[in-house]
Structure 1
Amino acid sequence: MIARWWTLVVVALVLAVLGDPLAPVALAGMPVQDAGTGTGSIRGRVDDADFGLPLAAVQVLVVEANRTVQTSSQGNYLVSGLAPGTYTVIFTKDGFDRLPVFQVLVTSGGVRDLDVELTGKFNEMNEFVVEDVLQLGAGTELALLQLRFDSPALLDSISSDLMSRAGLSDAADGLKLVSGATVQDGKFAVIRGLPDRYVSSQLNGVRLPTADEDKRAVELDQFPSAVLESLQVSKTFTPDQQGDASGGAVDVRLKGIPDETVFKFSSQVSINSQVAGRDDFLTYEDPSLNYWGNSGGNDVQPTGGNWTGAVGISRETAPLFDYKYSFAAGGSRELDSGVRVGGLASFFYETDTSYYEKGRNDSYLVRDPGGPLVPKPSQGTLQQGEFQTALFDIDQGSRSVQWGGLATIGLESEFVKTDLIFFYNRTAEDKVTLAEDTRGKRYFIQETLGTDEYDPNDPSDPGHAGPNLDAANRLAAPYIRTETLAYTERTTTSLQWTGAVSVPLTDFGWDGLLDFSEPEVSWNLSTNRADQIEPDKRQFGSVFLPETRFFIPGIIDILQPAEFIFFRPAASVNLGNLQRTFKEIIEENDQLSLGVTFPFEQWDGRGGSLSFGLFADRLERTFDQDSYTNGNGDPNNDFAAPGGFGDFWSASFPNENHAIVEFASDVDYEGTQDITALYGMIDLPLSEQLRLITGARFERTRLAVTNFPEANALWVDPGDPANGIPPDEQATTLEPGEADVPGENIDEVLPSIGLVWEPFRDVTLRAAYSKTIARQTFKEVTPVLQQEFLGGPLFVGNPNLEQSQIDNFDLRLDYVPYEGGIVSVSWFAKDIEGAIEYVQVDASLGTYTSPFNYPKGELSGYELEVRQDLGRMWDRLDGLSIGSNATFIRSEVELTDREKAEFAAPGIAAPLESRDMTQAPEYLYNIFATYDVPESGTQLTVFYTVQGDTLVAGASATDDFVPSVYALAYDTLNMSLTQELGPYLKLKFQAKNLTNPTIDEVYRSQYIGGDTIRTSRTRGIDYSISLSASFAF
C-alpha cells in the first residue's frame, strides 16, 4: 500500500512542477476524492481593462481562506481546495487599482469562474472597502458564519479562534459549543440527541479507524486545539457524505499551510482543585506511565508460579501541576515556474491529572411490585441471610500524557493542488480505582434488626455476630473492596494524499439549458491505523469479615479473628480474587474517495454543478485478550486483618504464595467491514432565490466477524426478541463458529433532496429530506464479555443485530442582520426503523447489558441560535459580543412485544409501551460572551453550558424490575482572560468548570416515586496560565 502511495505522489509532483500539459489528464485517471471532502475552486483570467491583454503576476488573495496565488503569463489563475462558502477575492498589481470582489460563492465540488479586468491606477480606493476586507479575517468565526449562510446543507462550524477563547483543549470540547451537539464519555460526538453510531466523524474528510472496544467512532479528544483550524458539523445528509451521517457529519479540519513563514509556540501550566495539594493521590507501586507514554506495561509472566507487580492501590503526593506545550512552523514560496510549494510542521505534548473521591456506583432493583428500590443482591438473598450487595463508594485517580504531531507538504500550480498530510497521536493513561461497599451491611441491619447502629469493631455486634454459633450474619452483606489498576495506550496514525485538478476540456452541454465548463476532479487516498493496548490490567477483590464473638453463657465463648476472604462477583465465580488481563485492539483501514464535478450555467446564466463520485473503505480489526487468575482453587484464600477493614490484603498479596494460571475463557475475534459507495447529485438554481440540491447514494456494507473462543469460553445467547426468541437464562460454552457473523452484502439506496430559498438578501430558508442508516459495531455483534472493573457492569454482544434505517426531515431559517450576526431557528425530525438500543438482561451470570433492534423510534426537536455584536446597537458596548443556542429534544422508542409482556407480568406490574432514546438529552444550552479592548490588547470570554437529563440505560424486567437510568442535568462555566504583551506574545489565564457540579446518574420510573442515585462524582475546577508567541516573516 505504501509503495503505491509514494509512486502516485512522485508522479503528481513531477508533472505539476514541470507544467506538463498532460498533467491534468494524467491526474484525472488517478484516485480522486469524494466531493464529501467539501472542496471547491475559484478560477479565471485577469486582463488589462485598457488594452484587453492578459496580466501576469497579479496577486489573487482569497481573504477568508488566507490563500494567495499569482496569475500566469497568460493571466490565468486557480485557487482550489476551498471549503464551500462565500469569499472575498482581492486582485492587486503594482500600477493598477486594487479590485475586491465580494460574495464569491464556492459550492461543494464546484468551480467558480471569475474573470476580471484591472484598470490603470489613477486614484486610491475608498477606505471603507479595505476596512470591510480586514474585518473578515482568515479562519475566524465571521468566515465560518458566512460559510454556514451560503452552504446548501445545514452547517455549523466552530473556529480554532473561538475554541481558544473558550479555553477548550481539543475537538471534543469544541463540539459542545455547536447547537444541538454534546459529547458522550468525554470523546464521542452526539448530534441532536443521536449518539456516535448516527454520527460520521472524520479528519479532513477521511473516515478514521478507532481502537475503542465499545464503539466504532472516532475519539475526538485525540485532536488537540494546537492542530485544529476548525470543527465543521453538517446536520443534513447529502449524497456526497457518508451514509451513516444520520445525526450529522463532524469534520475535524487540521491547520493548513500558511502563505507566509510563521513560527508559533505555546506553553501552559494548570492545576485541578481536586488534585492539587493532595498527599493521598491514588496510584500503585511502579506505575506504568512514563514521559512518552510508551512503556508497553508489563509482559505476560510464566504461569503456574507467583507473579510480580502490585495488585492493589497505594497513596502518594499528587503532581504539583499539569503542563502542555506546542510549537508549529511553516510557510510557502512560489518557484520561478509559477508553482507554489509549502509545508507545515506541528508538535504538541500535554499531561493531565484527575481525581475524585466519595463517588458512588450503586445497583438497585424493585423486588416486589409497587415496593421500594432495594440493593441488588448477588450470591444469595436477604431472606437466605448470606448474600452480597453492590453499593460502592468510589475513589479514582488518573494520570495521562498525550503527544503527537502534524506534518503537511503541498504544491499548487495553475491546474493542480495537492497535499500530503501525516498526523500522529499517542495517549497513555494510568487509572486507579478503589471501590468499597460498606453501605450494604447497613441495609441488612436496617431490614433485619430495625436499627441504623453498626460497629464493625465490636465482636458482639449483632450485625455480624449471630446466636447459637450461627455465622450467617457475618456473611450477610459483608464489606467488599475492589481495586483496579488499568494502564492503556492509544495511538492513531493517518497518512492522507489529497488534491484537486482542473481538466481543460472544451465547453459542452445543451445550449440554452445547461452549459458545462471545465470539470474538476478531486481525490483523497489514505491509510490509517488505530491501536489500543491494555497490558496487564489488574483487578483485585476482597471480602472483609470482622472479628466476631460466638457466645452461649456457660457453654461456649469463641472469638473469630477479623479476616479477608476472596471476593468473586457472580459473573466471575470461577475466578480467584485476582484477575490480570492483557488486551490489544488493532484497527486499520485503507480508504479511497473520488469526486468529479461539472460546473455549469443554467438557462438564465446562474451557476450550478453536477457531481459524481465513488468511495471505498476496507477496515480490519483484531481483538486479542488473555486473562490470568490465581484460580478458584487457590488454597491461600484468606488473610488475617488485625487492623480491621483499614488493612489492605492487596499490599501483602504479592508476597504470598498464589500461583497464577491462564483462565481459558476469553473470546478473541477478527472483524472486517467493507463499505463501497457511488453517488450523484446536482446543485441547480431554479431562480434567483431558489436552489435545488438533490441526488442519491448507493452504499454497500459487509460486516463479518470470526470468533476464536478459548476452551472454557462461556457466553449468553441473546436470542432474537424481534422474532419472539428470548435470551438464554444460562451461560453456555461457546463453540467455534457458533456466534460468527459470516458477512452479507447489505445494499442501500439513500436519496436526498433539499431546497434553499432566499426570499430576501439576508434571509435563507432550507428544507431537506434524506434517508440514512446506522450500523452495528464489532462489539455489539460479538459475544465478548466486557467488564470495566471487578464487580462492575457486564456487556454481551448480539449476533442478530441489524442495521437501522432513518428518515430525516429538516427545516432551518437563518437571518443575518449584518456581518457576524445571526438569528436562527431550526426544526428536525427523525423516524428510525430497527433502532439499536441497549437493554439490561438478567441471567445466571448476573445482570448484563445487550443491544437489540427496537421496532421503531422517533426523535424531533428545535434549535434556536443568536449571535450579536452589541456594539452595533450602542457605542458604549463596542467590543462586547454575545451568543447563545438552545436545543430541545423529544425522543421515543417503542418496546418489543416481549418487553411489553415482561413489564406487564404480575410479578413486575410496571407496564411500559415505550421509553426515551438513550443518549438523547432533553435540552442543551450554550451561552457565551466576549469583550475585546483592542487598544490594550485585552480579551475576556465567558462560556456557560447546560446539558439536560439524558437516558443512559433502559429499564429491564426479567426476574425483578430494574428502572431506567438517567444522567441528571448539569452545567459548566468556563472563563478566560487574554492580554497581549507586545506584538508577538500573549498571556492567558483560564478557569474551567467553575460550577464544579455533581454529575449524577439516577434510577427513575413512575413506579418508584423519586429518583435514586446510581452513580455520582465531581471533576473539580481547572485553573491554568499560558504564554504563547507568534512570529511571521
Structure 2
Amino acid sequence: MRRLRPYAAALLAGTGLVAAPALAQAQPQPLPTAGEQVAEPAPEPAPEPIEADEQVEEEVEISAPGSEGAEIVVTGRFIPEPVRNTAQVVSVLSAGEIARTGDGDIAGALVRVTGLSVNTNGFVYVRGLGDRYSLALLNGLALPSPEPLRRVVPLDIFPTSIVSSAVVQKSYSVNYPGEYGGGAINLTTASLPDDNYLTLGVGISGDSETTAQLGYTYYGSKRDVFGFDDGTRDLPGALRDNDGALVDAGVLENEDTLILQRNRQIPANFSASLAAGYGTDFGDTRFGAIASASFSNGWKTRGATQQTATAGSLVNSSYGVRTENKIQASGLLALGLDLPQGHKVRLTNVFIRDTSKVARVRGAFENIQTPFEDLEDDRLSGPYDSLNYESSYVQRQLFTSQAVGEFEFGAIELDLRGSYSKSDRDSPYERTTQYRYVGSTGGYAVRLGVPTGVIFSALDETVWAGGADIGYDLTGIVNGKLSAGYAYSDTARTFQSLNFVYDDGGAPIAGTGQSYLPIYLLLSPELIDFEDITLRQVNRAYGQAQYGGDLTVHGAYVRADVEVATGLRLEAGVRYEDAEQLLTLPDLYGNNPAGAGNAAVITKANDYWLPAATATWNFAEDFQFRLHGSKTIARPQFRELGTIPVLDVESDRVLAGNPFLTDSVLWNAETRVEWYPARGERVSLAGFFKSLDAPIETIATIDAAGTLQVTNANAPKATLYGVEAEVVKYIGLEGLGDALAPYRIALSANYTWSKSKLKVGAGDTTVLFPGNIDSPLIAPATQVFTDGSPLTGQSEHLANFQFGIENTDRLEQLTFLLTYASERVTSRGANTGGVLDPDIIERPGFNLDIVARQGFEWPGFGEMELKFEARNVLGRGHIEFQDYGTGRAAINNYDIGTTFAASLSAKF
C-alpha cells in the first residue's frame, strides 16, 4: 500500500521538484516525478517561494501489483498527481474527488472519468469497449463475480465509503494480468488512519417514479427487510433429491412468494453507515485498524414498454410495472503495520451483500405479425392477450480476504500479496404465472405449462490469487529499475438452474371454472389433488441444468524502467501468460448423445507472450508526452460459454452461451500530451488505436414465440480508434472581495470521440451453438455481422462536465455534474429468413446531477456534514430500440425519474 503525500520541498528554478519519495503510484512500478535524492541547489536563481495553498495536497492511497518504480527527477513545479507520476496513461479518483461527486457506489463515481461509461447493471465500459474488456481489481488482486451472466464484478456493489481511491489505467503494463482490453480499474481500500476517529451517518432518498407511487410487492419472509431469508425460500427436499420426474405441485405452494400485492405508497429509501479508525505507535512501528459498515434499503419502480420485431414487422408488445426492493450491506476490516526500514503489512477483509426482491405485473399483445407501416393503434389496445405475474429474490454476496506485504532491503524491493475470495448468487423461487385472455368469457384463465412455473438457481465462485514482485534499483549504473514478478489465480465456478412448470396431469383444465381462479387458490391442496396438477422440470436436456467452470492462470513478467536520456523515460517489458479454461457440462439426466452419464469437458488452453512499452518525454517544464504500444488478450467469460439459458431481469431477455468461443487478441497503441499549468490542474490530449482479432459480440435471436434472446459469437476482426481530451481548472475568487476570498470555482471537462468498425469479409466464418455440444454450427460471418458496424457497447461520443464552487478553508461545496453518452449497440440484430435485422441500440443521452455538501461543528458531536443530492435532474429515461426505417421497436423503454437525497454524518 503506497501513499502519495503532500509535497513541501523547495522548488528550484530550472530543476525538478525535490521531495520525499512518492509512495503511491497509479501504476505499480511508475517513475515518480520527485526523487529521494536532493538535487544540488543552484546558486542562481534563488528558490521560488511556494504559495501556501500549493502545499496542501490530498493524500492518495493506491495498492496495485508490482514493485515501486525508479526515482527520476522531472522538471516542473506542479507535480502532485499520480496521473503524472506514472509511466502509464491513468485516471485517478481520490477519496476527496469521490466525495465531491456524492455517488453512493463506485460505479457512479467512475462515470466522471474520461472515456468511461456505466451501463444499467453497474458494469463499466472503458473507451467504448464493453464490460467484458474491463479488468476489475481490489488492492491489485482479482475478484470473483456474484453474477451468473458475467465473470467481471459489477462495481455498483462497492459503496464509496470503503474505497480510498480508484485508478483507471488505460495503457497496459506487464505487471498487470494480460486479460486487458479497454483498461484496468483498481480499487484501493482504506488502510492505516492518520488519526483516531468514529463516523456515523444516516440518509434518506426517493425518486419521482417510485416514492409514494404505485408499485408491486409480495411478503416473502420476516427477514426480507434486512436482506436475509429466514428459510421460507429453501429448496424443498422433494425437488432437491428428485431425478427430474413429475412431482406433486404442492411442494411449491409457498403463498408468501406467490401472491403479489399493490402498494400505492412505495416507501422512501434509507441508509446508515459507521466507520472507525484507530492507530498507535509501538516504538518505530505503527499499528492501525479501520472498520466500516453500511446498510441501505431502497426501492425502484419502472414502467417499461418492451417489444420484439423482425423483418420490419412488430411481433410482440408488452407493458410491465416492475418494483425492486434492494437491500445492501457491506463491511470492511483493515489491519496494518508500518515497520522500520520501510516494511509494510496489510490485512484487508471486505464483505458485501446485495439482495434484490422484485415483483412485476406485465401485460402483452402477442403474435401481432404486422408491418410497422400497417400498424394501427387499436391493435395495441383493449384486453392484453396475456398477463404475467412475476416475483424473484436474488441474493448476491461477496467476501474477500487479502494480505499484502511490501518490504525494502536496500536497493531491493519485495512485494507479496495473496487473497481468497468467494461470491455467491442464490435466486430461489423465481416465479412466473401467466393468465390468458378468453374472449368468450371476457376473463383471464391460468395457463399451465410454460411459462407458468418456478426457477431455482444458485451460483458459487471462488478465486485464489497470489503474486510476488521484486525490484532492483539500478542507481550507480543507470537511473532506473529492473523488476520481475509472478502471479497466479484460480477461479472456480458452479452454476445450477432448476426450471419447473405446472402441468395439469393429462386432464386439461382450460375452460373449466377452476382455471379462472387465482394461482394461489388453484394450487391449494384440494385442487392439486382434484386436477392432478404436477410439477415438471423443463430444463432436463443435456447441458441445460448445470455447468462448472475453472480458469487457472500463471503469469510471469520482466520489466525495465529507465531514464534513457535527460527527460526521456522508457518502460518496457514482456509478460508470459499460460492459462487453462475448463467448462464442464454434467449429464444429470442421462441425455448425452455421446453416452448417458458422460460429462462433456471443453478445454481451452493457450499461452501468450505479451509485450508492452511506454516512452515518456518531459520535453518542457510541466509538460509530458507519452507513446505506448502493447499486446493483450480477452478470454471468453464463463457465462458466454455456459449453455444454460438465464433470464436477465434488468433487460428482460434470455441469455444463452456459446461454448465454441475463442480468445480475442488486441493490439493497442496510444499517444498522449499532458500539461500541468498549476497545482491540481491539468490539460491532456490523447489519441488511441486498437486492433481486435476475434472480438466477442452479443447477437440477438428471436424464438418461435417471438421472445428476444441473446447469445455470443466471435466476429472476424475489428478496429477501434479515437481521441480524448481533459481539462481541470480552478479559479480563485479572492479578487471579488473578502466575503468570496476563501472560495474558488472548480471546473472539469472531458470528452472522448471514438469510432469502431467490424471487419467482415465474404470468406469469413463464425461458430455458433445450435443446441448440440457435439455439433458446432459453422456459419458465414456475413449472416451474423455487418461489415463496418460498431462494436457492441461503444459510444461515439462521451462527455463529462463539472462546475462547482467550494470553500478552501472548510467543507462547503456545490457541484453540478453533466454527463453525455451517445447511442451504442447493445446487441447485433437477429437473422430472420436470411436477412439481418437492425442492431439493437441504446440511447443514454444527457444526465445532470447536483450535489451540495456543507460541513459544520456541533457542540458535543464533533465535525458534521450535511449533503443534499438531486440526480437525473433532466429526467432522462432508458431508451433501447430497433429502427426499421418504417418504424421503431421499443425494445426496453422506461422512465427513470429524478432522485432527491439528503444525508447527515458526524465525525468524532
TM-score, normalization by structure 2: 0.85
Q: Does the residue aligned with 2:114 lie in a helix, a strand or coil? A: coil
Q: Does the residue aligned with 2:640 lie in a helix, a strand or coil? A: helix
Aligned positions, number? 832
Task: Write the distance in 1 (CA, Å) between the matches of 2:785 and 2:141.
Answer: 46
Matching of residue 88 in structure 1 with residue 7 in structure 2: yes
Structure 1 residues 638 and 445, CA, compared in 2 at 3 Å: closer, same or farther?
A: farther
- Contact 2:314-2:372 at 8 Å conserved across structures: no
Task: Write the distance in 1 (CA, Å) between the matches of 2:78 and 2:100.
Answer: 17
TM-superposed CA distance for 1:962, in Å, is: 2.5
- Greater mean deviation of Cα atoms: 1017-1026 or 737-746: 737-746
The residue number in structure 2 matching 1:284 is 218
Q: Does the residue aligned with 1:660 lie in a helix, a strand or coil? A: strand
Q: 1:783-831: per-residue Cα shift (whole Å, max 9, x none)?
A: 1122346995333322211000000011111111111111111111110
The residue number in structure 1 matching 2:581 is 703
- Contact 2:319-2:363 at 8 Å conserved across structures: yes
Structure 1 residues 228 and 592, CA, compared in 2 at 3 Å: closer, same or farther?
A: same
The residue number in structure 2 matching 1:361 is 306
The residue number in structure 2 matching 1:529 is 422
The residue number in structure 1 matching 2:106 is 171
- Greater mean deviation of Cα atoms: 930-939 or 741-750: 930-939
Pairing 1:295-310 to 2, within 5 Å after superposition: 295=229, 298-301=233-236, 302=238, 303-306=247-250, 307-309=253-255, 310=257
Matching of residue 342 in structure 1 with residue 288 in structure 2: yes
TM-score, normalization by structure 1: 0.75
The one of 33, 58, 83 equivalent to 1:137 is 58
Task: Write the distance in 1 (CA, Å) between the matches of 2:629 and 2:575.
Answer: 14
Structure 1 residues 634 and 894, CA, compared in 2 at 3 Å: closer, same or farther?
A: farther
TM-superposed CA distance for 1:712, in Å, is: 8.1
- Contact 1:109-1:595 at 8 Å conserved across structures: no
Matching of residue 973 in structure 1 with residue 864 in structure 2: no
Structure 1 residues 634 and 392, CA, compared in 2 at 3 Å: closer, same or farther?
A: farther
Structure 1 residues 135 and 917, CA, compared in 2 at 3 Å: closer, same or farther?
A: same
The residue number in structure 2 matching 1:185 is 120
Matching of residue 333 in structure 1 with residue 280 in structure 2: yes
The residue number in structure 1 matching 2:724 is 863
TM-superposed CA distance for 1:913, in Å, is: 2.8
Structure 1 residues 896 and 487, CA, compared in 2 at 3 Å: closer, same or farther?
A: farther
TM-superposed CA distance for 1:870, in Å, is: 2.0
Matching of residue 746 in structure 1 with residue 606 in structure 2: yes
Structure 1 residues 913 and 736, CA, compared in 2 at 3 Å: closer, same or farther?
A: farther
Task: Write the distance in 2 (CA, Å) between the matches of 1:791 and 1:752.
Answer: 38
Q: Does the residue aligned with 1:743 lie in a helix, a strand or coil? A: strand
TM-superposed CA distance for 1:324, in Å, is: 1.0
Letter aligned with residue 971 of structure 1: F
- Contact 2:345-2:403 at 8 Å conserved across structures: yes
Pairing 1:719-868 to 2, within 5 Å after superposition: 740-788=600-648, 793-841=653-701, 848-868=709-729
- Contact 1:312-1:484 at 8 Å conserved across structures: no
TM-superposed CA distance for 1:650, in Å, is: 3.8
Q: 1:241-289: per-residue Cα shift (whole Å, max 9, x none)?
A: 11112211000111121122122222111112112222x3211243576
Task: Write the distance in 2 (CA, Å) between the matches of 1:953 and 1:1015.
Answer: 13
The residue number in structure 1 matching 2:789 is 915
The one of 133, 145, 148 equivalent to 1:198 is 133
Q: Does the residue aligned with 1:914 lie in a helix, a strand or coil? A: coil
The residue number in structure 2 matching 1:1001 is 880
Task: Write the distance in 1 (CA, Å) between the matches of 2:454 and 2:837.
Answer: 31
Letter aligned with residue 415 of structure 2: S
Structure 1 residues 634 and 941, CA, compared in 2 at 3 Å: closer, same or farther?
A: farther
The residue number in structure 2 matching 1:880 is 745
- Contact 2:751-2:798 at 8 Å conserved across structures: yes
Matching of residue 946 in structure 1 with residue 852 in structure 2: no
CA RMSD of aligned residues (A): 3.6
- Contact 1:973-1:993 at 8 Å conserved across structures: yes
The residue number in structure 2 matching 1:689 is 567
Matching of residue 246 in structure 1 with residue 165 in structure 2: no
Q: Does the residue aligned with 1:244 lie in a helix, a strand or coil? A: coil
Task: Write the distance in 1 (CA, Å) between the matches of 2:395 and 2:94.
Answer: 29
Q: Does the residue aligned with 1:915 lie in a helix, a strand or coil? A: coil
Q: Does the residue aligned with 2:600 lie in a helix, a strand or coil? A: coil
Structure 1 residues 567 and 700, CA, compared in 2 at 3 Å: closer, same or farther?
A: farther
The residue number in structure 1 matching 2:360 is 433
- Contact 2:616-2:626 at 8 Å conserved across structures: yes
Identity %: 20
Structure 1 residues 862 and 911, CA, compared in 2 at 3 Å: closer, same or farther?
A: closer
- Greater mean deviation of Cα atoms: 868-877 or 163-172: 868-877
The residue number in structure 2 matching 1:1025 is 902
Task: Write the distance in 1 (CA, Å) between the matches of 2:720 and 2:613.
Answer: 20
Matching of residue 610 in structure 1 with residue 482 in structure 2: yes
- Contact 1:854-1:896 at 8 Å conserved across structures: no
Letter aligned with residue 782 of structure 1: G
Task: Write the distance in 2 (CA, Å) between the matches of 1:110 and 1:910.
Answer: 43
The one of 143, 159, 174 equivalent to 1:208 is 143
Task: Write the distance in 1 (CA, Å) between the matches of 2:398 and 2:366.
Answer: 42
The one of 872, 892, 901 equivalent to 1:1015 is 892
- Contact 2:396-2:423 at 8 Å conserved across structures: yes
Q: Which has the larger radius of gyration?
A: 1
- Contact 2:314-2:368 at 8 Å conserved across structures: no
Task: Write the distance in 1 (CA, Å) between the matches of 2:435 and 2:750.
Answer: 49
Task: Write the distance in 2 (CA, Å) between the matches of 1:592 and 1:633.
Answer: 55
Task: Write the distance in 1 (CA, Å) between the matches of 2:367 and 2:714.
Answer: 36
Q: Does the residue aligned with 1:999 lie in a helix, a strand or coil? A: coil
- Greater mean deviation of Cα atoms: 179-188 or 951-960: 951-960
Task: Write the distance in 2 (CA, Å) between the matches of 1:942 and 1:617.
Answer: 42
- Greater mean deviation of Cα atoms: 392-401 or 663-672: 663-672
- Contact 2:105-2:157 at 8 Å conserved across structures: yes
Q: Does the residue aligned with 1:164 lie in a helix, a strand or coil? A: helix
TM-superposed CA distance for 1:297, in Å, is: 5.2
Q: 1:40-90: per-residue Cα shift (whole Å, max 9, x none)?
A: xxxxxxxxxxxxxxxxxxxxxxxxxxxxxxxxxxxxxxxxx325x686267
Task: Write the distance in 1 (CA, Å) between the matches of 2:450 and 2:174.
Answer: 54
- Contact 1:708-1:736 at 8 Å conserved across structures: no
Task: Write the distance in 2 (CA, Å) between the matches of 1:530 and 1:849.
Answer: 25
Q: 1:150-190: per-residue Cα shift (whole Å, max 9, x none)?
A: 21000101122222222201111111011001112331121
Pairing 1:345-744 to 2, within 5 Å after superposition: 345-357=291-303, 359-366=304-311, 373-376=312-315, 390-415=316-341, 416-438=343-365, 452=378, 479-504=385-410, 518-546=411-439, 548=440, 561-565=441-445, 567=447, 575-601=449-475, 607-631=479-503, 633=505, 635=507, 637-638=509-510, 649-650=518-519, 652-655=521-524, 656-657=527-528, 658-663=533-538, 665=540, 666-711=544-589, 740-744=600-604
Q: Does the residue aligned with 1:294 lie in a helix, a strand or coil? A: coil
TM-superposed CA distance for 1:198, in Å, is: 1.3
TM-superposed CA distance for 1:342, in Å, is: 1.3
Task: Write the distance in 2 (CA, Å) between the matches of 1:496 and 1:686.
Answer: 37
- Contact 1:703-1:741 at 8 Å conserved across structures: no
Structure 1 residues 952 and 289, CA, compared in 2 at 3 Å: closer, same or farther?
A: farther
Structure 1 residues 426 and 790, CA, compared in 2 at 3 Å: closer, same or farther?
A: closer
Task: Write the distance in 2 (CA, Å) between the matches of 1:419 and 1:445.
Answer: 62
Task: Write the distance in 2 (CA, Å) between the matches of 1:248 and 1:455.
Answer: 48
The one of 15, 19, 22 equivalent to 1:102 is 19
Q: 1:401-455: per-residue Cα shift (whole Å, max 9, x none)?
A: 111211111112113210111111111110122221148669699969x893898
Task: Write the distance in 1 (CA, Å) between the matches of 2:380 and 2:891.
Answer: 24
- Contact 2:613-2:629 at 8 Å conserved across structures: yes
